[in-house]
Amino acid sequence: GQFVLHYQPKIDMTGRLTGLEALLRWQFEGEAQLGPAQFIAIAEESGLIDEIGDWVIVTVCRQLRAWIDQGLDAPCVAINLSTRQLRQPDLAVKVGRLLVESGLSPDMLEFEVTETAAMENPQTAARRLDELGAMGLTLSIDDFGTGYSSLSHLRSLPLDALKIDRSFVRDIASDANDLAIARGTIALAHSLGLRVVAEGVETMAQWQLLRGLGCDEVQGYLIACPAPAEELAGILALGSIQLAARP
Ligand code: C2E
Ligand code: MG
Ligand code: MG
């Protein structure tokens, strides 16, 4: 009962809200919260991630239902899937059942998997992603550029989007190599028919460079920080986030 989900908006280059990412926090009573970096790896090793991951999926579906019931235009919510969850043979069946129970259409859910997760047991991962993709869920590769991946394997997956890791975005305005990596990644993704989302966008300079490179969507503190569901009602009602210093 101490887990909570925060949600971080993603917008396109016109400011339109394109989705939210659900991010897990562990809230201690009266104490500061722990971020996923401090417990997800342990949950993976111990196997608890299966149960925690199920809780995340159920909670996101309930939240989407609650927003819709409040009359809000709920966007697609992205859930991070761990390596271990990709091995669950009944993952797609469970998700399908939850969607029906919550009265949600499949395009309201997205799953993000890291390259590393997609490459560990590539056959199993591909089968799971094929099942989820066939149901009409959106799928994306997270933290792109930081893991080991085979482009021929990635090409065979039913992906919709690729997220450029924030380690390349951070110095994009000062490091020519990072700029080159971002440019190359965007070109690669577009030629494979994938949308590109840049993570960790914190400054207007980064946003402007990414827009110039043809990046489709951005996520980061410049746009909005992850926040509890209650705090998102305003953004959902508006359906967009306008950046103050937009040229
Ligand atoms: P991620 O999926 O790449 O999520 C993005 C991370 O970047 C989040 O960290 C987010 O708070 C942070 N972030 C967003 N904008 C900015 C920015 O402008 N600057 C900086 N410096 N950081 C930014 P968080 O919430 O600590 O999550 C870390 C990782 O934990 C996530 O990386 C994801 O891999 C994992 N994670 C989070 N929630 C879950 C979950 O429910 N299940 C699983 N399996 N993994 C999760
Ligand atoms: Mg993610
Ligand atoms: Mg990421």
**Measured in angstroms, how far is the CA atom of residue 3 from the centroid of ligand 1?**
15
**Measured in angstroms, how far is the CA atom of residue 2 from the centroid of ligand 1?**
18
**Measured in angstroms, how far is the CA atom of residue 238 from the centroid of ligand 1?**
24
Residue from 144, 199, 204, 241 whose mutation best tests the ligand 1 pocket (most atoms within 8 A of CB): 199
- Residue 110 binned pLDDT confidence (cut-offs 50, 70, 90): very high
Query: At 68, phi and psi to the nearest 5?
Result: -60, -45
- Residue 80 binned pLDDT confidence (cut-offs 50, 70, 90): very high
Measured CA distances, 59 to 20, 62, 125 (Å): 14, 5, 23
The yes-or-no verdict on residue 89 having pLDDT over 80 is: yes
- Residue 246 binned pLDDT confidence (cut-offs 50, 70, 90): low
* Residue 133 Cβ contacting ligand 1 at under 6 Å: no
**How many Å apart are CA 72 and CA 64, to the nearest integer?**
9
Inter-helix orientation angle 204-212/176-191, to 10°: 50
The yes-or-no verdict on residue 30 having pLDDT over 80 is: no
Instruction: Write out the two tokens for 173.
Output: 């305005």
The yes-or-no verdict on residue 245 having pLDDT over 80 is: no
The yes-or-no verdict on residue 55 having pLDDT over 70 is: yes
Which ligand has the nearest atom to the CA of 55?
A: 1
The yes-or-no verdict on residue 13 having pLDDT over 60 is: yes
- Residue 244 binned pLDDT confidence (cut-offs 50, 70, 90): confident
CA angle 71, 75, 81 (to 5 degrees): 130
CB–CB of 85/125 below 8 Å? Answer: no
Helices (H), the chain: 40-46, 49-69, 83-86, 91-102, 115-119, 122-134, 151-156, 166-170, 176-191, 204-212, 233-238
Atom of ligand 1 nearest to the CA of 165: 3
Kindly report whether the global pTM for this prediction surpasses the value 0.85: yes
* Residue 56 Cβ contacting ligand 1 at under 6 Å: yes
